[in-house]
């Protein structure tokens, strides 16, 4: 559905001021509804959500998870008012999840409550939720396809690491499966109707108190004699009656004689793009290892062209990490947009291809560096000098990228592709550790980059090089001109761009996550919009934000206190927009996302989806 390049929309809402309340704020003429908050039952097994944290692990495995993030609407029967919504659950809020989190530990700080830890693992992952618009409200519908993928769900491994010795565990002796998906932050989707969930800050869930492998050092698995996991799940096994490898597996210390007698390889099943077929009940998720193993923020496909390879972009969100691109070996066949078997189509396009990492050069040019055995390294050798197989390269993707000389970035988060121009945009959320010592580079030019920026590039025909510029620099309105490089004012100042999406009309939506105090003292996290393809000079060259066009960037939405605004999807008729409110403070108070709890009232916070609609039912934003 590529729009006519001559059709241009323009934004028809007024930018709203910042907001610092326990409610969402949205442009005038719009409503915001709370949909599918944490704990919403997805089937008859789950009991209704209880306001005291007393729901069980079994309830949680059959109900919406915590801390919603990336999401996507998959229409049913081409409807704009009924579909399957997939949503990520990045991590957990332990105080809200349990009646008494501290009571789930013993005096040594080890976990002792089996059901509590299971509940935490089950609150991670992905929900598939049948939703429909009824009488002006979106509701959750009963459906056999409603389901959870959690931190414990069995998943298939596909691509270079499938059946590799690196994936051999007591659970999967042939290396064909891994258990669970964790820290699912950004998302993507495919042209054939599947959902992509991205495993981001998974290394902190695993501990290795013994000898570390190179990839574990590079990616930041918790190492050392005193290492403890993020929620200390690994400590439970020693205090339970049963031999529960479901918890012990988070301790990947090599203790046995082989990978079949300990959990040394458990973390090797994490760090991937995971494909889910929402339309097929009970279908297994597939980890697509060809797209690399790192802290994936999102996964976005490039402009589709019949007969050309597919491309997928994915940022590694950590300071000084890299931007990656996967190029499929198979070329795009439009008949695959409506396949009989969606996951088989995933096999066709996502298992074989070349993974590249980006080097941004000084002249607005850049190069995609392949991560293959014969790829040249900075020192004049090849990657085969350091890695024996492609599976070894993938396992330590970031280490391989170091060798080839990729450009260290200011925390690459989401990518988005302009449906009109094909330009690709990437949020670089911030990097306050970029100092005189680390130095700047052309693509990350600000020292102590606390506001972040959005970079953009255009591919060339050959897929190996590109041209780039910086589309907009985050800033507070009152920063000096050498910092406020895009000339933002109160009505569009922002910091820490994170979520990023184009809708198919060419509107770019920018969401923020915990900006610098100069901005957070003025407004909570927010969502802004701009139509980049409207910003052209007379010669038809795309312009950046600044030099008089700043007003084109408008604030559309502000989240409640304490939250992050993340994840974007919109119904095919552009009349319902879905975003996630993650880690809110004292919200939601009611089904109306714009209603704050009365002064002095504290609610049990629940991450949720918010549906934004126009009061007159019309198309959003235009
Ligand atoms: Fe989970 Fe990079 O944000
Ligand atoms: Ca994010
Ligand atoms: Ca972030
Ligand atoms: Ca987050």
Q: What mean pLDDT is predicted for residues 205-221?
A: 97
**Which ligand sits closest to the CA of 430?**
3
**Spacing, Cα 273 to ligand 2 middle (Å):** 15
Is residue 263 within 8 Å of residue 245, measured between CB atoms?
A: yes
Q: Would you tell me how many other CB atoms lie within 10 Å of the CB of residue 255? A: 12
Q: Which residues approach ligand 1 with their CB closer than 6 A?
A: 90, 185, 200, 297, 317, 413, 498
In this structure, the residue with its CA closest to atom 1 of ligand 1 is 185
Q: What is d(CA 197, CA 115) in angstroms, rounded to the nearest whole number? A: 26
- Binned at pLDDT 50, 70 and 90, residue 461 comes out as confident
Q: What is the DSSP code (8-state) at residue 42? A: S
**Spacing, Cα 217 to ligand 2 middle (Å):** 23
Quick one: which atom of ligand 1 is closest to the CA of 566? Answer: 3
pLDDT digit string, tens, across residues 66-108: 999 999 999 999 999 999 999 999 999 999 999 999 999 999 9
* Of 189, 193, 192, the residue nearest 333 (C-alpha): 192
Quick one: which atom of ligand 1 is closest to the CA of 90? Answer: 1
Tally of CA atoms within 13 A in the half-sphere of 252 that contains its CB? 26
Q: What is d(CA 144, CA 43) in angstroms, rounded to the nearest whole number? A: 8
**Which ligand sits closest to the CA of 514?**
3
The enclosing H or E element of 122 equals helix 114-122
pLDDT digit string, tens, across residues 105-130: 999 999 999 999 999 999 999 999 99
pLDDT digit string, tens, across residues 336-374: 999 999 999 999 999 999 999 999 999 999 999 999 999
**Spacing, Cα 254 to ligand 2 middle (Å):** 32
Give the ipTM: 0.96
**Spacing, Cα 403 to ligand 1 middle (Å):** 25
Tally of CA atoms within 13 A in the half-sphere of 3 that contains its CB? 18
Quick one: which atom of ligand 1 is closest to the CA of 317? Answer: 2
Which strands make up the sheet holding 526-530, listed edge to edge? 25-26, 554-558, 526-530, 508-512, 497-502
**Spacing, Cα 317 to ligand 1 middle (Å):** 6
Is residue 345 within 8 Å of residue 330, measured between CB atoms?
A: no
Residues with a beta carbon under 5 angstroms from ion ligand 2? 185, 498
Residues 6 or more apart whose Cβ sits within 8 Å of residue 450: 430, 432, 495, 516
In this structure, the residue with its CA closest to atom 3 of ligand 1 is 185
Quick one: which atom of ligand 1 is closest to the CA of 295? Answer: 2
| Token pair belonging to 274 | 């995971």
Buried b (16+ CB within 10 A) or exposed e, 504-530: ebbbbbbbbbbbbebbbebbbbbbbbb
Quick one: which atom of ligand 1 is closest to the CA of 429? Answer: 2
Residues 6 or more apart whose Cβ sits within 8 Å of residue 288: 158, 159, 196, 272, 273, 274, 275, 346, 350, 351
- Binned at pLDDT 50, 70 and 90, residue 206 comes out as very high
| Token pair belonging to 469 | 């510029």
Reading phi first (left if > 0) and then psi (alpha if -120 to 50, else beta), residue 220 is in left
- Binned at pLDDT 50, 70 and 90, residue 528 comes out as very high
Cα distance between the two ends of the chain: 19
**Which ligand sits closest to the CA of 583?**
4
**Spacing, Cα 326 to ligand 3 middle (Å):** 23
pTM of the complete model: 0.98
**Spacing, Cα 53 to ligand 3 middle (Å):** 27
pLDDT for 576 beyond 60: yes
Quick one: which atom of ligand 1 is closest to the CA of 200? Answer: 1
């Amino acid at each position: 559905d590529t729009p006519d390049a001559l059709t241009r929309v323009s934004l028809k809402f007024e930018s709203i001021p910042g907001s610092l309340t326990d409610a969402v704020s949205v442009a005038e003429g719009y409503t915001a509804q709370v949909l599918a908050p944490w704990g919403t039952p997805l089937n008859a097994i789950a009991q209704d959500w209880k306001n005291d944290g007393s729901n069980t692990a079994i309830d949680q495995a059959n109900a919406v998870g915590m801390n919603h993030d990336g999401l996507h609407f998959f229409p049913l029967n081409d409807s704009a008012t009924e579909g399957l919504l997939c949503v990520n659950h990045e991590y957990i809020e332990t105080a809200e999840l349990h009646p008494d989190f501290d009571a789930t530990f013993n005096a040594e700080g080890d976990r002792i409550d089996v059901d509590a830890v299971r509940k935490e693992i089950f609150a991670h992952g992905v929900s598939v939720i049948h939703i429909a618009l009824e009488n002006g409200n979106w509701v959750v519908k009963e459906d056999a396809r409603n389901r959870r993928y959690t931190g414990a769900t069995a998943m298939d491994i596909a691509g270079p690491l499938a059946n590799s010795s690196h994936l051999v565990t007591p659970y999967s002796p042939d290396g064909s499966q891994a258990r669970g998906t964790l820290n699912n932050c950004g998302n993507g989707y495919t042209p054939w109707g599947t959902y992509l969930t991205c495993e981001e800050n998974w290394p902190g869930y695993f501990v290795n108190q013994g000898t570390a492998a190179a990839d574990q050092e590079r990616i930041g698995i918790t190492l050392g004699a005193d290492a403890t996991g993020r929620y200390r799940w690994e400590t439970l096994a020693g205090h339970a009656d049963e031999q529960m490898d479901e918890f012990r597996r988070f301790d990947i210390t090599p203790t046995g004689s082989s990978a079949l007698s300990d959990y040394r390889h458990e973390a090797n099943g994490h760090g991937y793009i995971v494909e889910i077929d929402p339309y097929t009940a009970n279908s297994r998720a597939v980890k697509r290892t060809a797209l690399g193993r790192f802290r994936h923020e999102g996964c976005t496909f490039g402009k589709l062209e019949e007969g050309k390879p597919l491309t997928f972009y994915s940022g590694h969100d950590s300071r000084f990490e890299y931007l990656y691109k996967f190029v499929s070996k198979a070329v795009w066949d439009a008949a695959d947009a409506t396949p009989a078997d969606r996951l088989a189509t995933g096999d066709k396009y996502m298992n074989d291809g070349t993974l590249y990492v980006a080097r941004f050069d000084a002249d607005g040019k850049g190069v995609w560096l392949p991560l293959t055995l014969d790829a040249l390294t900075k020192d004049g050798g090849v990657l085969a000098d350091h890695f024996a197989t492609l599976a070894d390269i993938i396992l330590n993707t970031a280490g391989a990228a170091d060798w080839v000389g990729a450009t260290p970035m200011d925390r690459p988060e989401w990518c988005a592709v302009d449906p009109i121009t094909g330009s690709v945009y990437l949020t670089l959320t911030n990097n306050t550790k970029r100092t005189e010592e680390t130095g700047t580079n052309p693509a990350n030019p600000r020292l102590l980059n606390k506001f972040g920026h959005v970079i953009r590039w255009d591919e060339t025909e050959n897929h190996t090089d590109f041209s780039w510029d910086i589309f907009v620099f985050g800033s507070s309105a009152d920063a000096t001109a050498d910092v406020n490089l895009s000339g933002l004012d109160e009505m569009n100042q922002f910091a820490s761009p994170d979520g990023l999406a184009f809708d198919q009309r060419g509107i770019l939506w920018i969401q923020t996550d915990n900006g610098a105090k100069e901005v957070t003292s003025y407004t909570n996290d927010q969502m802004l919009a701009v139509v980049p393809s409207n910003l052209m000079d007379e010669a038809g060259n795309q312009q950046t934000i600044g030099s008089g066009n700043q007003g084109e960037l408008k604030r559309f939405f502000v989240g409640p206190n304490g939250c992050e605004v993340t994840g974007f999807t919109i119904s095919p008729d552009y009349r319902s927009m879905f975003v996630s409110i993650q880690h809110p403070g004292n919200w939601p108070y009611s089904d109306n996302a714009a209603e704050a709890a009365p002064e002095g009232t504290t609610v049990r916070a629940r991450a949720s989806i918010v549906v934004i609609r126009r009061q007159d039912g019309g198309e959003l934003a235009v």
